[in-house]
Structure 1
Amino acid sequence: MSQSQYPCAGCGANVEFAPGTNVLKCPYCGHETVLQSTGARVREHDYLNFTSLPRKPVAMLAKNVFVCRNCGAQTESDAISDRCRFCSAPVVAQLNPQDLVVPEAVLPFVLDRRRLREALGKWASSRWFAPSGLKKVSEAESAKSMYLPHWTYDSRTVSDYVGQRGEHYYVTETYTENGETKTRQVQKTRWYYASGTVARDFDDVLVTGTTKVSQKHLDSLDPWPLPDAQPYRPEYLAGHETLRYDVEPESGLDAAKQKMAPVIEGDCRDDIGGDVQRVDRIHTQYNDVTFKLMLLPVWIAYYLYAGKTYNIQVNGVTGEVAGERPYSAMKIALAVLAAIAVIVTIIGLYAVNKH
C-alpha cells in the first residue's frame, strides 16, 4: 500500500500539521512548510450514480499496512493516518477510490495542546460536585488528536401529508364549590381534516461515519463550522490519527433521513395551521440526493478516577467539551450537611422570633 510521510527540509525528520495554522511543522527543529493552495474544490457525489457502482463493503477491506520510512518498522491499522508504533513518526495512507470512498473535505484542527488544556480546565472547573483530581484532566498529556469520518447529505424533499387541524373554542361550565354556584371557561377543540404538500431543501445533514466513538458525546460537540472545511489533502492528517469509516453511505443516508424527519413534520404542522395539529401520514420523496465524506477534528482524552476510566471529547475547532465525569461522594455529603444546617438554622431563628 502506498503511503505518505513528509520529511522536514531543515533536519529530515517527519513534519506534522500544526493546528490553527496552514503549515507543516517539524516537532524537532521547528521548521515550517506552508501548504500552498492546490485550487481543488469540495465536490458532492451523486448518490444514485455512486451507489450503483461496484464497491466492496468496507468491512471486507484489508487493514492498511504502514512501512515507516524513518525506522523501517511495519504496522497494520484500520486508520487512514497514524503514528509508527515504534518511533512515533506520522504516516498517512494514500487512498484508492476503487477500494473505498475517499474523503472530499477535511475540517482542519484549530485547537493545539495549549488551547486544549484551556478548554479542559474550563470544563473541569465548571463541574459541580466533581472530585478535586478532575482538574488534572486539563494536563491532557494522554489526549489524542483524531479525525473522525462523517457523511454529509443534501436533498430536495417533497412531502405529501395527511392530518388534522385543531381549533380551540370555549364553553361556559357551571359548577358548585363550597355550596356556591360558579362558572368557568373550558377549552374544547374541533378537529378538521387536513392534507397538503410541503417542500424543503436540506444541505449538509451530518451523520457520523464511525461506530468506534460514542455518538452521545459526538452529538454534544455540535455545531461544526462546516463552511470552513477545506478540500481533502493528506497533509492535514500528518501527525493526527484518522479513523476509516465503518458506516456505509447507504446506512448513512437512512440516518440522515431520520434527522430530516422531525424537520419535515414541523413543516407539515406549520402548513396545517390552527391551534394544534395531528400528523397521521407523511410520504417524502428525496430528490437530487448528493453526499460526501468529510473528516472532522476531535481531541480524545481519558481520565482515571477510582479505578474507572472516563472518556472526554473536545471539538478540535470550537473547543466544545463533552464526556463523562465522576462525582465526589464527599463533596455531595458535605453539601447535603450544609443544606441541612441552613434549614435547621432558619427553623431555629423562626422559633426564637415567634416566642
Structure 2
Amino acid sequence: MSQTQYPCAGCGANVEFAPGTNVLKCPYCGHETVLQQTGARVREHDFLQFTSLPRKPVATLAKHVFVCRNCGAQTESESISDRCRFCTAPVVAELNAQELVVPEAVLPFVLDKRALREALGEWAKSRWFAPSGLKKVSEAETAKSMYLPHWTYDSRTVTDYQGQRGEHYWVTETYTENGETKTREVQKTRWFHASGTVYYDFDDVLVTGTTKVTQKHLDELEPWPLPDSQAYRPEYLAGHETLRYDVEPETGLENAKGKMRPVIEAECRHDIGGDEQRVDNMHTQYNDVTFKLMLLPVWIACYLYAGKTYNIQVNGVTGEVAGERPYSALKIAMAILGALLAIAVIVGIYVATKR
C-alpha cells in the first residue's frame, strides 16, 4: 500500500496540519510550510453511474499497513490516516479509487488544543449537578483529533401524494350546568379528499459514514459549515486520525431518504392547505441523484469517573460540545435538601402570619 509522510524542511521530522491555519507545522522546530492552492474543485458524482462500476464491499477490504519512514515500524490500521504506533509520526494512506470511494471534500480543523480546552471548560461549567472533578475534562490531554467520513446527497424529487384537507367550522351546542341551560361554541372539522404533486430539490443531505461513533452525539454537533469545506488533499489529514467509512453509499442513500421524507411530507401538507392536513401516502421519485464523500473534523475526548468512561465529542470547527456526563449524587441530595428547607421556611412564615 502506498502512503505519504511530510518531512520538515527544517529538521527532517514529520510535519502536521495545524488547525485554524493553512500550513503544515513541525511539532519540534516549529517550521511551517504553507499549503499552496491546487485549483482542485469539489465534485458531485452521479449515483446511478457509480452503482454500475465494479467495487469491493468495504467490509472485505484489508487493513492498511503503514510502514513508517521515520522508524521503519509497521502499523496496521483501518483508518486512512493515523500515527505510527512506535514513534507517533503521522502517516496518510494514498487511496485506491478502484477499491474505496475517495473523499471529494474535507472540512479542515479550526480548533486547536487550546481552543478545545476552552470549549470543554465552558461545557463542564454549564453541567448542573456534575461532580466537581468534571472540570478535569477541560484538560483534554488525551483528546484525539479525528476526521469522520460523511456522505452528502443531492436529489431533485417529485412526489405524488394522497391525503385529506381539514377545514374548521363552529357549531353551537346546548348543555346543562347546575340546572341552568347554557350554550357554547364547539370547533368541528370537515375533511375533503386531496391529492397532488410536489417538487423539492435537496442539496447536501448529510449522512454519517461510520458506525464507530455515537450517532446521537454526532447529530448534536450540527450544523456544520459545509460551504467552508475544501477539495480533498491528504495534507489536511497529516497528524489527525481519519476513519475509513463503513457505511456503504447505497445504505447512506437510504438513510438520506429517511431525512428527506419529513421535509417532503411538510411540502405535501403545505400543498394541501386548509386548517389541518392528513397525508395518507406519498410516492417519491428521486431524480438526478448525486453524492460525494467528505471528511468532518471532530475532537474525541473521554472522562473517567467512578470507574465508568464517558465519551465527549467536539465539533472541530464551531466548538459545539456533545456527550455523556456523570451526576453527583451528593450535589443532587444537597439540592433536594435545600429545596425542602426553603419550602419549610416559606410554610413557617405563612403559618406565623396567620396567627
Give the distance between the partners of 1:278 and 1:104, measured in 2 at CA. 41
2:16 maps to what in 1?
16
Q: CA deviation at 1:181?
A: 1.2
| Residues 140-219 of structure 1: pairs in structure 2 closer than 5 A | 140-219=140-219
User: 2:28 is matched with which residue?
Assistant: 28
Deviation at 1:178, TM superposition (A): 1.4
What does residue range 33-182 of structure 1 map to in structure 2 within 5 Å?
A: 33-182=33-182
Moved beyond 3 Å, runs of 4+: none
Equivalent-residue separation in structure 2 for 1:196 and 1:151 (angstroms): 31
**Partner of 2:280 in structure 1?**
280
Q: Mark the runs of 5 or more structure 2 residues left unpaired by the alignment.
A: none
Amino acid at match of 1:193: H
| 1:318 match: secondary structure | coil
Instruction: State the alpha-carbon separation in 1 of the partners of residues 95 and 278 from structure 2.
Output: 49
Q: TM-score, structure 2 length as denominator?
A: 1.00
Q: What's 1:3 paired with?
A: 3
Correspondence list, 1:282-321, <5 A: 282-321=282-321
Cα distance in 1 between the residues matched to 2:233 and 2:6: 13
Residues 237-276 of structure 1: pairs in structure 2 closer than 5 A: 237-276=237-276
3-state SS of paired residue (2:147): strand
Q: Which amino acid aligns with 2:182?
A: K
Equivalent-residue separation in structure 2 for 1:335 and 1:182 (angstroms): 50
Secondary structure of 2:311's aligned partner: strand
Q: Which amino acid aligns with 1:227?
A: P
SS of equivalent residue, structure 1 residue 218: helix
What corresponds to 1:354 in structure 2? 354
How many residues of Structure 1 are paired with residues of Structure 2 in the alignment?
355
Partner of 1:87, secondary structure, is: coil
The answer to whether structure 1 residue 220 and structure 2 residue 237 are counterparts is: no
SS at match of 1:65: strand
1:23 and 1:177 mapped to 2: Cα distance?
A: 80
What letter matches 1:188 in structure 2? K
- Secondary structure of the residue aligned to 1:97 is coil
Separation (CA, whole Å) in 2 of partners of 1:15 and 1:226: 26
Name the CA distance, whole Å, in 2 between partners of 1:324 and 1:178: 56
Compute the displacement of 1:176 (Å): 1.1
Equivalent position SS for 1:120: helix
CA–CA distance in 2 between the matches of 1:171 and 1:326? 55
Cα deviation, residue 16, structure 1: 0.1
**Cα distance in 2, alignment partners of residues 339 and 178 from structure 1:** 42
Question: Which letter does structure 1 place at the counterpart of 2:180?
Answer: E
1:196, distance to aligned residue in structure 2 (A):
0.3
In structure 2, give the amino acid aligned to 1:303: Y
What is the deviation of 1:129? 0.3
> What is the alpha-carbon distance in structure 2 between the residues aligned to residue 171 and residue 178 of structure 1?
22
SS in 2 for 1:312: strand
- CA apart distance, 1:182: 1.0
In structure 2, the residue matched to 1:338 is 338
Task: Give TM-score, length-normalised by structure 1.
Answer: 1.00
What secondary structure is seen at the aligned counterpart in 2 of 1:99?
A: coil
Give the superposed CA RMSD: 0.4
Q: Distance in 1 between matches of 2:254 and 2:223?
A: 21
Could you tell me how far apart the structure 2 residues matched to 1:274 and 1:26 are?
64
